[in-house]
Amino acid sequence: MLLQKIISRFLYKITLRYGSSILLLTIVYAPDAYGHGLFNSEMVKTGGFIIEVETQPEIPTTGTPSKILLRVTDYDSNEITNVIIGMRIYKDDVLLTEVAPTMLKNGHYEMDYTFTIPGNHIVEVDIYKDSEKVITEKFNMSTLYPFGYIFYSMVVIGALFPPSLFAFIYFMKRRKSKQSVV
């Protein structure tokens, strides 16, 4: 914590002296930054279990094969073995597909699925804790039309534009300062 304060003060002083050219360094130094959760992933803690559901690719497009991944752990993140799970996929309260109760061997379950209708789908996961108790949780999954790649392009452009702008400003200032020295 002390080191973090020292580095932050140092960066602040350099930024005051050299201006925005050091801004790129302060963006790279982000000690409390965490990666974002996947767009189509959710986690629920319930009944002694942590249930995680996600899709690959992150945002499936209609008509393209994708995977629905399920992971079940206990509250200490130890993968649960020998538990029975079931799964159903709904769109607008209409059942699209159902996975019969299956024994989860290693805490993971993968399902190949091709979404045919764009929009929001509901994935219901059942965990059969014992013969009489069933834990059911609902998860949202979104899909796009095939033109959804425009969305990917905009995200990539949005991620690359600020660093490119800062690099351009940095090199222009360096070039300008070298010209004024000559």
pLDDT tens for each residue of 57-72 = 888 888 889 999 998 9
Residue 111 neighbours by CB under 8 Å, 6+ apart: 67, 68, 69, 70, 87, 99
Give the confidence band of 181 by pLDDT, cuts at 50, 70, 90: low
CA distance 18 to 4: 21
Decide if pLDDT at 172 tops 80: yes
What does each C-alpha distance from 37 to 1, 24, 40, 53, 147 come to in angstroms? 26, 24, 8, 12, 23
Decide if pLDDT at 35 tops 60: no
Looking at the fold, whether 59 and 134 belong to one and the same domain comes out as yes
pLDDT of residue 34: 36
CA distance 139 to 121: 8
Looking at the fold, whether 54 and 135 belong to one and the same domain comes out as yes
Looking at the fold, whether 25 and 49 belong to one and the same domain comes out as no
Looking at the fold, whether 100 and 49 belong to one and the same domain comes out as yes
Per-residue pLDDT of 106-117, as tens digits, reads: 888 999 999 998
Total structural domains within the chain: 3
Q: How many percent of the chain have pLDDT more than 90? A: 22
Q: Residue 6: phi, psi to the nearest 5?
A: -65, -45
CA distance 126 to 104: 12
Q: How many percent of the chain have pLDDT more than 70? A: 72
CA distance 86 to 98: 8
Decide if pLDDT at 27 tops 50: no
The residue segments making up the domain with residue 50 are 41-144
Per-residue pLDDT of 118-129, as tens digits, reads: 888 999 999 988
Looking at the fold, whether 125 and 152 belong to one and the same domain comes out as no
Cβ pair 82, 104 in contact under 8 A:
yes
Looking at the fold, whether 56 and 125 belong to one and the same domain comes out as yes
Q: pTM to 2 decimals?
A: 0.59
Average pLDDT, the chain: 79
Looking at the fold, whether 139 and 93 belong to one and the same domain comes out as yes
Looking at the fold, whether 31 and 60 belong to one and the same domain comes out as no
